[in-house]
Structure 1
């Protein structure tokens, strides 16, 4: 297949580098801090749901064992994921600090 037809469909270099308007979604206050706070709140919510389900089961209230186990696993997996993300962020920060300027 000749390369010329493929190259003719690519955008021109001048159009790629030109300033394009920023989408409205980027102008909103959706920054990393807000995302991180929402993620931590979600992990906390899953932990609380797991604790409630466990206590309901221990008190003999009407709740299925598999619902208790599912809630516990969701909370455990979300906590493990949050810890791994934290570990990677700390590792990346340390790597940046070791860089020479």
Structure 2
């Protein structure tokens, strides 16, 4: 397993979660299902962020800090998703060049 990918994931995940994933990898989960789950999580964060923005705009928010936190979480989730997409495209292009 690539150590740099583990180091990168420690910043976004809890250390115990990373340890469990390294020791007990999910062999039956396909790349497509992992990708679908990740997109679903990003979508869920976006929905929560939009609801928080709507609550702020209408004045229905009781805890402003929590609403802003949900908005920031949605933004970071989207940025992470875009970076993963960019890396996947770059890897695909690199593989295409190697086969030529």
Q: TM-score when scaled to structure 2?
A: 0.69
- Higher radius of gyration, 1 or 2: 1
The Cα RMSD (Å) is 1.7
Residue correspondence of structure 1 range 1-101 to structure 2 within 5 A: 26=27, 28=28, 30-100=29-99
| Count of aligned positions | 76
**Which segments of structure 1 move beyond 4 Å, counting only runs of 4 or more?**
none
Equivalent pair of 2:49/2:71 in contact (CA under 8 Å): yes
Q: CA deviation at 1:85?
A: 0.5
**CA–CA distance in 2 between the matches of 1:35 and 1:98?**
26
User: Hey, which of these two has a bigger chunk of helix by percent?
Assistant: 2
Q: TM-score when scaled to structure 1?
A: 0.68
Q: Structure 2: state its 5+ residue gaps.
A: 1-25
**CA–CA distance in 2 between the matches of 1:66 and 1:76?**
15
Q: CA deviation at 1:95?
A: 0.5
The SS at the match of 1:61 is coil
